[in-house]
Amino acid sequence: MLQNLKEEVYRANLSLVEHKLVKLTFGNASGIDRKTGFMVIKPSGISMRDSGPDDMVVTDLSCNVVEGDLLPSTDAPTHAALYKAFGTIGGIVHTHSASATAWAQACRPIPCLGTTHADYFHGNVPVTRSLTREEIAGNYEYNTALVIVECFREMDPLRIPAVLVASHGPFTWGGDVTQAVLHAISLEEIARTAALTLSIAPVGPIDQTLLDKHFFRKHGQGAYYGQKK
């Protein structure tokens, strides 16, 4: 079942390790097949170097295992709820990459200071509010998704395909899981660069016109960056 998606999700999880965004088993990637409504996600607590595509777990969006002998990631309820809330996304990545996690632990959004940031995110990368004690003690992983969705009530998740969960770490997403990995890589880079920039001088945000130029030359109907397919 969903063999191509299993292979894509496996490669995505392996790519996170190769790009040093995941150490030990700190992170996961998933993809969804919108036709069936099934999600493929990394198994819980398993090293990618000790697994293969067939070890990826297929679940429904209630996190019931449809196929696989292993337990899905403990973050599966977060992924599933985001797929329900953001109907245009096809892949999700969660890491504890150092720079992005530092901003999350500081409970600070990553400000858009320059064009490197603007190439991928149309504005600041937001940080969620902290979960309440009741939300933590209850359905924690599901409630993590709810605070993310709450954060995007007035934002387009495709224009800012990333979020920092307060005191936790980053989540990214995209049209598919490969694009979600790309956003995780770029998020870590802009998080590191923003921190470095602010250590040099207390600069303000990028000019909005320059931000729009860089974002929309790569995204949307008027995009002209790269090669035409």
**Is 224 part of any domain?**
no
Look at the chain and report how many structural domains it folds into: 1
- What are the C-alpha distances in Å from 75 to residues 3, 30, 70? 22, 10, 14
pLDDT in tens, 77-133: 999 999 999 999 999 999 999 999 999 999 999 999 999 999 999 999 999 999 999
- What are the C-alpha distances in Å from 36 to residues 33, 57, 60, 66, 120? 6, 15, 9, 11, 30
**pLDDT value, residue 195:** 98
- What are the C-alpha distances in Å from 76 to residues 65, 67, 111, 125, 200? 11, 14, 29, 23, 39
Which residues of the chain register pLDDT less than 50? none
In whole angstroms, what is the distance from residue 50 CA to residue 148 CA? 31
228's tokens: 């035409």
**Is 54 part of any domain?**
yes
In whole angstroms, what is the distance from residue 97 CA to residue 19 CA? 10
99's tokens: 């720079």
**Is 81 part of any domain?**
yes
Catalytic residues: 119, 225
Q: What one-letter code names the amino acid at 182?
A: L
**pLDDT value, residue 229:** 66
- What are the C-alpha distances in Å from 141 to residues 27, 59, 104, 217? 14, 16, 17, 36
**pLDDT value, residue 201:** 96
**Is 225 part of any domain?**
no
**Is 151 part of any domain?**
yes
Domain that residue 60 falls in? 3-216
Q: What one-letter code names the amino acid at 113?
A: L
- Residue 189 has φ and ψ, to the nearest 5°, of -65, -45
CATH number at residue 104: 3.40.225.10
